Amino acid sequence: MERIYFDNAATTALDPAVLDTMLPYMTEKFGNPSSIYSYGRESRLGVENARKSVAKILNANPGEIFFTSGGTESTNTAINAAIRDLGCRHIISSPIEHHATLHTVEHVYCRDEIRLSWVKLLPDGHVDMEDLRRLLAESKERTLVTLMHANNEIGNLLDIHAVGNLCKEFDAIFHSDTVQTVGHYPFDLRNTPVHFINGAGHKFHGPKGVGILYINENVKIHPYLMGGSQERNMRAGTENLYGIVGFAKALEMATENHEQHSTYINDLRMYMAEQLEQHIPGVGFNGDLKGRSLYTVLSVSFPKTEKSEMLLFNLDINGICASGGSACTSGADAGSHVIRALSSDPNRIAVRFSFSHTNTKAEVDTVVTKLKELI
């Protein structure tokens, strides 16, 4: 059975060209980047060239880019630093953030006795900007706003500049989880009012286990992980050398092909939405499908029936990979916290299909035909 992979928001396949770039750093260029002899200097050059490449693509200073193990570590670092080093005693977030953010803000709320506020959401899942302004205006303490750039389950896109300018107005620190958008959208960080963003290589055909944290050059924080002087004393631990090189290569390729791939993927997503509307009675879509929305994600709402309750299981049996929202909750009885925050209707089933440039219309047709059988 040939598998159809429609869960690219969870992870993507490693591009062969990225692997080719990584392989020399797994074999002959294996030196520790902290070593002063030739093997170490060769590895150090690989890391620093990768940093320069990432910084150039994101229009940041190389000194603002720090390599980490991925989005979760980067988010934890930013949120903890805002509380510990930047004097924030109030956090504003949303109930549909990734658990890397939700669990971290809840932890510091309990541990550090800070205030925690949830911004209201509009019916389509977007942040209520008027409510965000109200929360910031009423805050008597310095505030951290942590809101994701694109929701990993429903695909809604935040107006990152509007939020950043609002934070600037109230002297708030702004962290945005950009894991779903780094590698998928162009960034101009020199002209974006944000203090922290993060990215993960495996979301855009790079390796797993490597990410970045952007720290604005005007922000001074202490390290989250202690133990060594790596990453300019900001992130202890021997660098993930071949992961870092792979991250930079994957980001270079994603940027080079952005216009072509984003148009193709969005056309595929909208084609599937149209086919579902034509062939599945009662189908709906979660989030702002035809407005500000991530071009890789289609969150579908099916009527709940005896058949559809086993939908993900039956799709898997038929070789179709999709998710019940976030990959982090796809196996949990509780289901998606994002869908629950937007809808309390117990008679709907949510399935997330997410695409890459390697997917085809023929695959969409096969999945829609199979969904007709299963529902």
User: What is the separation, in whole angstroms, between the first and last Cα of the chain?
Assistant: 21
pLDDT of residue 333: 46
In the predicted structure, residue 335 carries a pLDDT above the cut 80: no
- Per-position b or e across 44-69, b if 16+ CB within 10 A of its CB: bebbeebbebbbebbebeeebbbbbb
For domain 4-12+257-374, the CATH class is alpha beta
Integer-rounded Cα radius of gyration of the chain: 21
Average pLDDT (357-366) is 98
Predicted confidence band at 227 (pLDDT cuts at 50, 70, 90)? very high
Report angle CA 213, 216, 221 to the nearest 5 degrees.
75
In the predicted structure, residue 93 carries a pLDDT above the cut 60: yes
Burial-class residue 173 by CB neighbours within 10 Å (0-12, 13-18, 19+).
buried
Structure tokens at 231: 């990453």
In the predicted structure, residue 344 carries a pLDDT above the cut 90: no
Residues 6+ apart with CB under 8 A from 221: 77, 81, 84, 85, 86, 215, 234
Predicted confidence band at 346 (pLDDT cuts at 50, 70, 90)? confident
Average pLDDT (113-121) is 96
pLDDT of residue 334: 58
Comparing C-alpha atoms, which of 139, 134, 163, 165 is closest to residue 150?
163
SS3 label, residue 248: helix
CB 215 within 8 A of CB 255: no
SS3 label, residue 185: strand
CB 198 within 8 A of CB 75: yes
| Helix-helix angle 71-84:99-112, to 10 degrees | 30
In the predicted structure, residue 331 carries a pLDDT above the cut 50: no
- Neighbour order of strands in the sheet with 348-354: 284-285, 297-303, 348-354
In the predicted structure, residue 49 carries a pLDDT above the cut 80: yes
SS3 label, residue 65: strand
The residues carrying an active-site annotation are 328
pLDDT of residue 329: 43
- Residue spans in the chain of domains classed CATH 3.40.640.10: 16-256
- Summarised one tens digit per residue, pLDDT across range 197-219 is 999 999 999 999 999 999 999 99
| Residue at 133: amino acid letter | R
Instruction: Report d(CA 260, CA 253) in Å as an integer.
Output: 12
CATH (residue range 16-256): 3.40.640.10
The residue with greater pLDDT, 324 or 294, is: 294
Structure tokens at 124: 């389509």
pLDDT of residue 326: 45
Local structure of residue 53 (DSSP, 8 states): H
- Residue spans in the chain of domains classed CATH 3.90.1150.10: 4-12+257-374
In the beta sheet, which residues pair with residue 5? 321
Average pLDDT (284-296) is 96
The average confidence (pLDDT) of the chain is: 95
